[in-house]
Structure 1
Amino acid sequence: MLFAATATVTLCVLTLTSCGSGSGSSGKGGGKVKVGLITKTDTNPFFVKMREGAQKEAEKKGVQLTTAAGKYDGDNGGQVTALENMVSAGVKGILITPNDSKAIVPALEKARAKGVLVIALDTPPEPQSAADALFATDNVKAGKLIGAYAKAAMQGKEAKIATMDLSPGVSVGVQRHQGFMEGYGITDKDPALVCSQDTGGDRAKGQTAMENCLQKAPDINLVYAINEPAALGAYTAIKAKGREKDVMIVTIDGGCEGVAAVKDGRIAATSQQYPLKMAADGVAAIVDYAKTGKKASGYTDTGVQLIAAKAQPGVESEDAGFGVDNCWGK
Structure 2
Amino acid sequence: MGRTPPMRRRRLVAMATAGLVTAALGLTGCAGDSGSGGDPTYVTLITKDPDNHFWTAMVEGAKTAAKQSNVEITTAAGRDQSDADGQIRAIEDAISRGDDAILIANNGPAVNDAIKRARDAGIYVLALDTPTEPADLVDGTLASDNFEAGQLVGKWAAGALDGKKATIALLDLFADKVVTVDYQRDQGFLSGMGIDTKDRKKNGDEAKTGAYSGGDYQIACNQATNGAEDGGRSAMENCLSLNKDINVVFTANETSGVGAAQALKAAGNTGALLVSIDGSCGGVKSVTEGSFGAVAQQYPSEMGRLGVEAVVKHLRDGVNPTPSEGLDFVNTGVRLVTDKAVNGIESISSAEGAKKCW
Q: What TM-score, normalized by structure 1, do the two folds share? A: 0.92
Aligned counterparts of 1:143 and 1:10: Cα–Cα separation in 2: 39
- 2:31 is paired with a residue whose SS is coil
- 1:323 is paired with a residue whose SS is helix
Identity rate, percent: 42
- 1:61 is paired with a residue whose SS is coil
1:189 paired to 2:214? no
Compared with structure 1, are the counterparts of its residues 13 and 20 closer, same or farther at alpha carbon in structure 2 (3 Å cutoff)? Answer: farther
Matched ranges for 1:1-330 at <5 A: 11-12=22-23, 17-22=28-33, 25=36, 31-100=39-108, 102-167=109-174, 168-187=177-196, 188-191=206-209, 192-243=218-269, 245-296=270-321, 298=323, 299-328=329-358
Compared with structure 1, are the counterparts of its residues 23 and 228 closer, same or farther at alpha carbon in structure 2 (3 Å cutoff)? Answer: closer
Aligned counterparts of 2:22 and 2:139: Cα–Cα separation in 1: 23
Aligned counterparts of 2:351 and 2:152: Cα–Cα separation in 1: 18
The match for 1:4 is: none
Is the Cα contact below 8 Å between 2:30 and 2:73 reproduced in 1? Answer: yes
- Partner letter of residue 293 of structure 2? A
- 2:30 is paired with a residue whose SS is coil
- 2:68 is paired with a residue whose SS is helix
Question: 4+ runs of 1 displaced by more than 6 Å?
Answer: none
Structure 2 spans left out of the alignment, 5+ residues:
1-17, 197-205, 210-217, 324-328
The match for 2:12 is: none
Is the Cα contact below 8 Å between 1:8 and 1:85 reproduced in 2? Answer: no
Compared with structure 1, are the counterparts of its residues 16 and 32 closer, same or farther at alpha carbon in structure 2 (3 Å cutoff)? Answer: farther
Structure 1 spans left out of the alignment, 5+ residues:
1-6
Compared with structure 1, are the counterparts of its residues 271 and 253 closer, same or farther at alpha carbon in structure 2 (3 Å cutoff)? Answer: same
Is the Cα contact below 8 Å between 1:166 and 1:199 reproduced in 2? Answer: yes
For residues 286-309 of structure 1, the C-alpha deviation after alignment (integer angstroms, 9 at most, x for no partner) is 112221233436410000000001
Is the Cα contact below 8 Å between 2:229 and 2:258 reproduced in 1? Answer: yes
Aligned counterparts of 2:302 and 2:87: Cα–Cα separation in 1: 22
- 1:257 is paired with a residue whose SS is helix
Is the Cα contact below 8 Å between 1:15 and 1:66 reproduced in 2? Answer: no
Aligned counterparts of 2:121 and 2:35: Cα–Cα separation in 1: 23
Q: What TM-score, normalized by structure 2, do the two folds share? A: 0.85
Aligned counterparts of 2:278 and 2:73: Cα–Cα separation in 1: 25
- Partner letter of residue 59 of structure 1? K
For residues 188-224 of structure 1, the C-alpha deviation after alignment (integer angstroms, 9 at most, x for no partner) is 2132111010011111110010001111111111100
Is the Cα contact below 8 Å between 1:225 and 1:250 reproduced in 2? Answer: yes
Is the Cα contact below 8 Å between 2:115 and 2:125 reproduced in 1? Answer: yes
CA RMSD of aligned residues (A): 1.8
Compared with structure 1, are the counterparts of its residues 10 and 155 closer, same or farther at alpha carbon in structure 2 (3 Å cutoff)? Answer: farther
